[in-house]
Structure formats: C-alpha cells, structure tokens
Amino acid sequence: MLRTTFLFLSRQRTLRRWFETSNLSKKITRRFVAGLTLDDELRVCRALSSERILSTLDRLGENVNTLDEAAAARDSYLASLERLAELNIGATVSIKLTQFGLDFSTEQCLANVRMLVERARSLGTRIEIDMESSEYVDRTLEIVRRLHVETGAVRAVIQAYLRRTAADIASLCEAGIPVRLCKGAYDEPASVAFETKAEVDRNYVEQTRVLLERGAYPAIASHDPKMIDAALSRAKELGLASDRFEFQMLYGIRRDLQKRLVDEGYRLRLYVPYGDAWYPYFMRRLAERPANVFFLLRNMLRF
C-alpha cells in the first residue's frame, strides 16, 4: 500500500516542482544523493575510491520534454565523462534513455547515446543503461544490442520482477552483453511482473546463477543479504575469481553490507546520483523502504 502510494507520488509533477525547488532540497536528499553539482558528485566518487569502492555516476533526470533537452543531457554527460576520466578511479556512467530522448525518437536517442558510448570506449570505460518501466524494455534492449555490436562498451540492466526476464537474460548472455541484475523499482501490472516478493526473489536467485555461469562480467545489484549470499555461494561452487563479477548497491543504502563485501575482497560499485532533478529517484527509494520517511522527517526538522 505505502509502496504504491510513493510510486504514485513519484509521478506527480506539481509536487515534484515544489520539492525540487524547495530550500529543504539538500536536507531531504543528502542520504541518497551526492549533491546538486558535478563537483559534489566527483568528491563523493573520489572518497569512495579511497575506500576501495567503485562508482557509477548518474545525473538525475528522466523523461525530458524536448529533443533539445535530451541533447543538453547528452552534453552534460559527455562533460562528466571527461572529468571522471581525469580521476582515473575505474568509474562507469549510468543513464536513462528517456533522458536521451526515447519518448520522442528512438533514432535520435540512439544517436545521442552513441556519442556518449563511443567517448566512453575511447576513455576505457562503459555506459550502463538503466532499465525504466516495462513500456521501454524492448526499445532499450534494442539500443543496447546495437551499441554493444558497434562498441562493446555498454551494460544492460534487467529487472528480476519482469516475467520476461529469463528469456532476456538468456539472449543477452548469448550475445556476450554484460548485465546488471536488479529486482525492479517501478509499479508494474501483474500481466508483466511477478506480484509477490517471494516470486521476485526466486527469479533473482535463478537469474543470478545463469549470469554467473554464462554471463559476461555480471553485476549483482541488490542490498538483500539473501541475494548476495546466493550469488557468493554459486560463485564459490563455480570457482569464479572475485574479479569476474561485481556487486552493485545504491549510494547511502546498507553501508554495513557494503563494508562487509569490500573487506572480504569483492568488487563493489555504488550507484551515485547527483543533480537537482532528484524527486522521482528519491520517491522510488521511499517506496522500497517506507521506514526511510522517518529519516526524511528527522533531516527536515534538523536546522
């Protein structure tokens, strides 16, 4: 119930405008967002690197209103790629295709993303293409496939809550495309997504096994100790070295678990968002764990 409410709120434009321009912005977001500027982001990524944690940069924003806005997002990402490369900390960059114009033109979106991916390849890194709601999955995977063939510098994201996931993972493994597996963060109908946590978790564990057996450098993206332990025990059974896969988590979530994995010698990459368009991202984090509202209220009341 609370989950659905927060996911509903995440789509409310008036509330979004009010929150994002409010003086409370920084206080509300600081647990999950690196800051409002690229400098804030780079400071966090550098600090994480000193703790042996990799990062993937995300400039907050999705569903732009015009192709000009999409081109501006592309240029901003191109600039951040250059700045990240100067740090030389093995960071990647994560993007959402709706921020690159997918709602307007698949071809124009592809052209925008291609510029970014080609630059990423020449800088020795890769672009991770987040997965949005189910209406975008086919178009997103089509773009991922084309750019993989052209550059080999992309990673797909697959959501374990979708019923189609086993088939998608099988074909991405076949094509040698790296995959980040997450549970999924959007409000989806029962016709396309599993309804219970038990079903999603079961699918997550099964698909983790497939990725560890046949995938190209998979990323296990979860804060759920059961998912992580299942991945670790399968990796051990397969005799996989710790540099053949990585764990991923969101900045600010389960820092205890993050530390445990790094201390045990596993690769961990944090998804580190920054920017002023934080509202939908933040609401999805509340939907995942409504108890975060107490943390939010505490920050808002602290002067």
- Our CB check for ligand FDA shows the closer of 86 and 191 to be 191
Out of 16, 74, 126, 180, the active site residue is 180
Out of 58, 119, 126, 130, the active site residue is 130
**Closest to 100 (Cα-Cα) out of 129, 57, 137:** 129
Element (H, E) at 252: none
From residue 113, alpha-carbon distances to 104, 136, 217, 280 in Å are: 14, 15, 22, 22
CB 140 within 8 A of CB 110: no
- Our CB check for ligand FDA shows the closer of 3 and 244 to be 3
Q: Footprint of ligand FDA on this chain (CB under 6 A)?
A: 130-131, 157, 159, 182-186, 221-224, 227, 248-250, 253-254, 271, 285, 288-289, 292
Instruction: Name the minimum Å distance from CB 20 to ligand FDA.
Output: 19
Residue 260 bears catalytic tag: no
- Our CB check for ligand FDA shows the closer of 81 and 162 to be 162
Residue 130 bears catalytic tag: yes
Instruction: Name the minimum Å distance from CB 289 to ligand FDA.
Output: 4
Q: Which residue has the tokens 């979860």?
A: 222
Extended strands (E) in the chain: 54-59, 92-95, 127-129, 154-159, 179-182, 219-221, 246-250, 268-274
Instruction: Name the minimum Å distance from CB 32 to ligand FDA.
Output: 8
CB 247 within 8 A of CB 267: yes
- Our CB check for ligand FDA shows the closer of 127 and 249 to be 249
Instruction: Name the minimum Å distance from CB 117 to ligand FDA.
Output: 16
Active-site positions read: 130, 180
